[in-house]
Amino acid sequence: MHDVAGPDVPRKPPGFNGFSLLCGLLIGLVMAIAPVMACPASCHCIEKSGMTVVQCVSRDLEKIPLDLPRDTVVLLLASNRITHIPNHAFRELHYLQELDLSNNEIETVDAAAFQGVSDSLLVLDLSNNRIQSVPKEAFARLRAKISLSNNPWHCECTLQEVLRELRLDPETVNEVICHTAVQEEYAGKPVIQVLDSGINFCNFHHKTTDVAMFVTMFGWFTMVIAYVIYYVRHNQEDARRHLEYLKSLPSSSQISKDFDTISTVL
């Protein structure tokens, strides 16, 4: 007699067991974590007291690295050749507390440069760079202690409005100097000293704008008057020439006399 075949029972593939399943899960977990823990080739990452410190000091960097670990708490980028802080440069670093960009060649800071870290950032060092001005939005909502010393600041209305909202490092605040200013007499003086004296660069800006508008309007008015005078004189000259031409023509009486003389002769 032949055995009657029962219902098909699913069989495990050869070599399949619980250990293989566990290995697959571990590999997937490692692959998911790897991008978070990756360290840029030009930097050195250190785990310290449960925090990731990314050290990129004096690495001759021209740009901020893009592949920074997402759990970075301290990012040291001092003494490089970085010239620009672009929008969303640190957007993925939600745990970032300290950012050192001192002693670079930074000239421009985009409006959304620190967007994404405004809530977590506690210390920001931008000292010893080449920054002259920043957009009003660049440091919006930042609660960090900020060092802006030893930059060639141009003191004007926008800078005044920016500084009004910042928590400047008290140890370096007197080193934030007006390299140039809309009012030349304040060049070379600490910004905080100028502002504490009651100077309002925004008022000066408005006055300068008003004067510029007045000068522009006066210039246009002068041009219009000059054109009208030229137009009148030019038309007078044409009228005079036309009148002289008419005077040079023989009068009708003279023409009649000439005609009578000719008739008599004939």
Q: Where are the alpha helices (DSSP H) in 75-200?
A: 157-164, 191-196
Give the chain's end-to-end CA distance (angstroms, integer): 164
| 78, 209, 257, 258 from 263: Cα distances, Å | 113, 82, 10, 9
Q: What is the pLDDT of residues 159-172, one digit of tens each?
A: 999 998 899 999 99
What are the distances in angstroms from CA 22 to CA 17, 18, 154, 181, 184?
Answer: 9, 6, 62, 67, 72
CATH 3.40.50.2000 fits 37-199, yes or no: no
Global confidence as pTM = 0.65
- Residue pLDDT, tens place only, 55-107: 999 999 999 999 999 999 999 999 999 999 999 999 999 999 999 999 999 99
Task: Give the domain ranges of the chain.
Answer: 37-199, 217-265
